Amino acid sequence: MPTVIEVGNLRKTYGSVIAVDDVSFEVNEGEIFGMVGPNGAGKTTTIECIEGLRRPDDGSVKLLGMDPSEKRRAIANHIGVQLQESALPPRLRVVEALELFASFYEHRADAEELLDILGLTEKRSSAFDKLSGGQKQRLFIALALINRQKIVFFDELTTGLDPQARRSMWDLVRQIREQGCTVFLTTHSMEEAERLCDRVLIIDRGQIVALDTPEAMIRSLGAENRLVFTLPENQADPLLTDLPQVQRVEQFGERVVVYGHGERFASSVVYALEDAGVDFLDLRTEQPNLEDVFLSLTGREMRE
Amino acid sequence: MKGFRKLTLVNLKLYLREPISTFFTLAFPPLLVVLFGAMYGNDPSPMFGGYGSMDVSMPAYTAMILGTVGFLGVPITISGYRESGVLRRFQATPMRPLTYILADIVANLVTTLLGMMGLVIIGWLLYHVQFEGQVMAVILAVVFCGLAMFSIGYLIAGLAPGARTAQVVGMVIFYPMMFLSGASIPLEIMPETIQRIANFLPLTYVVRLLRGLWFGDAWGEHLLETAVLSGVLLVCTALAARFFRWE
């Protein structure tokens, strides 16, 4: 798979603050590449250096083989961009915005079709400042798709969207990729990164913490599964640590968390509980996810 | 090119949708004609070289429109767009920065000419105001003066840290200048001190050039005005280009 984005030893500082520190990675054609990390980790700075909106202090960026800080306009023709923070003139109407932005590009997507896909057809004549946060976000996504781009950048794709709109946006991103477009997105939602991205780059305090497929990252954790249940009062503490699949047991009041691994981990615990005649409630298993990956790699919770 | 045309048209529409800017460029000058016309009439006066006060107000109010657009419209819009992130969104397209500025200037010139047209129509309907110049020369002068005034506006937008500051700076410069340059009240009825202050205000030269051409002077008779405004245009454009920021 050819490489479409190459970032080498990228560094960017704002005064004494190091926003991005020696970051290197590549993005392949046709993949959904996600950059994830807490706010202030350096996601937006990195993506904007790649888009040619910011000039790196050091390091190299190649986009479709070109340097964005030198060939900004040539590159801008081939990429779609949704910025984390931007606006349109308050009285500009939705359909006018699409037609205006279409006029800047050589290859144009169908404005009406985009309105339809993003559920903005009813709002076509509404002024920008009369739109809700989610509608504005969807309009900016439409603007990013107006030029039949080769690569599309979404900086905080689903911020401001309700859960339903989020899911339909994920479907849309997958569709865009099906059409051969490369997708580069940033998010602070580990769930979004895990569900949507082929490869994920975890960034924290300007440095790369991990870069792999979500599955491989989770596997590399040593894959500890969790079984959680509630133990009503006056129940004897079940002796689960004797089971070969169980590593340790933690109890917080009524809540019991059993850590372990192996294919028969969950069932062996359940059998052991039944055998002991323990009256457990609300039993569920928890798979490790990217949140755990972040926690184990940085020692901190991934919170906004 | 398509982008330029589209953007000019959009800018024009946006301007006309903004009630405050529309009022001050399109409605306010004719209102002044009605108001001051009712107070002073348009009888020929030796003070105005044999013209009436409404006759001389036509080029003067045109200068006022140019000042309103240049000192208030341009800085407020541009710095507001910068602050809210509109300029950033445009920056992420293949459009050249110069295309953006030119489309903005053309739209501003068209609104100025529209305002001037409304003003002259009211002046003619109510007072049969006199015009002795050449239409093309006057339009050309409006465009030239417009470029000079807008370049000051872009400079204010570039230097002001935010939209609020740009607005305040624009108002602080424009409102006194509007009264001291002859753009609203003819300088002839002002005390000598004010007439002397007027020599230091760029808008004064706009009023003089437009009034001269309006009543049939040749450009050659207004070399001082042309030189001053060319200087303003060159210096402010250079500085505005230096200080312009997308974000």
Which range has the worst mean pLDDT, A219-228, A247-256, A257-266, A268-277?
A219-228
The average pLDDT across B216-232 equals 96
Reported confidence tier of residue B13, pLDDT bands at 50, 70, 90: very high
C-alpha distances (whole Å) from A264 to each of A109, A229, A231 are 52, 17, 22
Reported confidence tier of residue A141, pLDDT bands at 50, 70, 90: very high
> Who among B7, B14, B88 is closest to A83 (CB)?
B88
Write down the pTM of the prediction: 0.87
Which range has the worst mean pLDDT, A52-61, A271-280, B103-112?
A271-280
Q: What is the pLDDT of residue A238?
A: 66
Neighbours of A295 (CB within 10 A): 14
pLDDT tens-digit map of A9-46: 999 999 999 999 999 999 999 999 999 998 889 999 99
B179: domain range?
A: 2-41+50-243
List of residues 6+ apart from B131 with CB closer than 8 A? B58, B120, B214
How close does chain B come to A73, measured CA to CA in Å?
4
Reported confidence tier of residue B103, pLDDT bands at 50, 70, 90: very high
Best interface-test mutation with B: which of A98, A100, A136, A141 has the largest number of B CBs within 10 A? A100
Q: What is the pLDDT of residue A304?
A: 45
The residue type found at B132 is: E
Check: CB of residue B206 under 8 Å from CB of residue B67: yes
Residue A237: pLDDT over 70: no
Reported confidence tier of residue A282, pLDDT bands at 50, 70, 90: confident
Among residues A140, A166, A162, the alpha carbon closest in space to that of A153 is found at A140
How close does chain A come to B181, measured CA to CA in Å?
33
The average pLDDT across A226-235 equals 79
Q: Considering its fold, how many domains does chain B have in total? A: 1
Residue A196: pLDDT over 80: yes
- Inspect the interface and report whether the beta carbons of B94 and A81 lie closer than 8 Å: no
**Mean model confidence pLDDT for chain B:** 94
Q: What is the pLDDT of residue A218?
A: 85
List of residues 6+ apart from A64 with CB closer than 8 A? A4, A75, A78, A150, A151
Above pLDDT 90, what percent of chain A?
A: 61
> What fold characterizes domain A3-215?
Rossmann fold (3.40.50)
ipTM for the predicted complex comes to 0.90
- Inspect the interface and report whether the beta carbons of A86 and B81 lie closer than 8 Å: no
The three-class DSSP label of residue A80 is strand
Which residue is associated with the tokens 């896909």?
A: A117
How close does chain B come to A65, measured CA to CA in Å?
17
Name the token pair of A244: 């070969």
Q: Which chain B residue is nearest to residue A78, measuring alpha carbons?
A: B94
Each domain of chain A, given as residue ranges in start order, spans 3-215, 224-287
SS (H, E, C) B144-197: HHHHHHHHHHHHHHHHCCCHHHHHHHHHHHHHHHHHHCCCCCCHHHCCHHHHHH
> What fold characterizes domain A224-287?
Alpha-Beta Plaits (3.30.70)
